[in-house]
Amino acid sequence: MVDESSVPWYEDDKLWEIMEPVMFTEARIAFTPNEVDAIKSLCKIAPDEAVLDLCCGVGRHSLELARRGHKVIGVDRTKLYLEKARKAAAEENLSIEFVLDDMRTFYRKKTFDIVLSMFTSFSYFDDHEEQMLVLRNIYASLRPGGRFIFESMGKEILARIFLRQSWSEWPHGFMLEEREAIENWSKMHNVWTFIERDGTVHRWNVIHWIYSGAEIKEMLESIGFSDVKIFGALDGRAYDNEAERLVVVATK
């Protein structure tokens, strides 16, 4: 029997539970200090600047920034992840506020100098206006001069490396990912099938926006962001035909 969800994929707790070991691998967690070095260098974060880690997941960037003395607030909709993040912070005696909220509703007016949206955490909502609402919330939460950094997979890169389907093996099961560009390459339709080792099968239709460098720049500028810079990885390389990720730094 296939367990198919009736809520949008990003609101399905089962998806985030099953995907936790897939997304937050030991290698990815271990690489986080390098990502934070790169973020600090791209955004030029001063020691006393306050950071919002939007869609913080299990808090890997929040924890690393707090270890380095930054004031951080992490926000995420997944209770399971926030519980893990809070536990990890308590074990290291780090003071981080972790807030259970939705990126469409969360904002704190002119409170942060930096907002992070790391590892493809923006692009989920079917309606373009909901996407713009998230960007408006980020803009409202930033102090003047504050920077927003966004890291994802760009449309141009996806078109270059596109794979119709792929399988992967994990300690708790096997994953099939089937992909199709839809709505004239506006969105990616992924069908994720996860087969647990006891034979339980889960299937999700994961549909999300894919943005080109030019599209995301235009969206940010239409909200009021300036000095919108596009990079091809967190190391600050050009967003060209060899880009690996779409990284955007925009200033309020």
Closer by beta carbon to ligand SAM, 155 or else 208: 208
9 counts as binding ligand SAM under rule CB under 6 A: no
Q: Which stretch binds ligand SAM (CB under 6 A): 112-120, 167-175, 194-202, 232-240?
A: 112-120
Q: Does residue 245 interact with ligand SAM by CB under 6 A?
A: no
Give the whole-angstrom CA distance, residue 101 versus residue 114. 18
Six token digits for residue 232: 């091809």
Provide the minimum distance between the beta carbon of 241 and ligand SAM in the complex, in angstroms, as a whole number: 26
Q: Which of 57, 154, 173, 213 binds ligand SAM (CB under 6 A)?
A: 57
For 173, left (φ over 0), alpha (ψ -120 to 50), or beta? Answer: left
What gap in Å lies between CA 48 and CA 51, rounded to an integer?
Answer: 10
Site size toward ligand SAM (CB under 6 A) is 18
Q: How far apart are CA 55 and CA 78, in angstroms?
A: 9
| Choice between 20 and 240, CB closer to ligand SAM | 20
Contact between 120 and ligand SAM (CB under 6 A)? yes
User: For ligand SAM, which is the closer residue by CB, 41 or 227?
Assistant: 41
Consecutive H or E run containing 138: helix 128-141
Span of 117-125, 161-169, 211-219, 223-231 interacting with ligand SAM by CB under 6 A: 117-125
With binding defined as CB under 6 A, does residue 250 bind ligand SAM? no
**Tokens representing residue 72 in the block:** 């951080």
Query: Is 87 within 8 Å of 152 (Cβ atoms)?
Result: no
Rg (CA), the chain: 18
> Does 122 engage in binding with ligand SAM (CB under 6 A)?
no
Nearest-angstrom CA–CA distance, 144 and 228: 15
Q: Is 181 helix (H, G, I), strand (E, B) or coil?
A: strand
- Using CB under 6 A, which residues numbered 17 to 46 contact ligand SAM? 23
Q: Is residue 124 part of the contact set for ligand SAM (CB under 6 A)?
A: yes
Instruction: Identify whether the C-beta of residue 147 lies closer than 8 Å to the C-beta of residue 43.
Output: yes
Contact residues for ligand SAM (CB under 6 A)? 10, 16, 23, 55-57, 60, 76-78, 81, 102-103, 118-121, 124
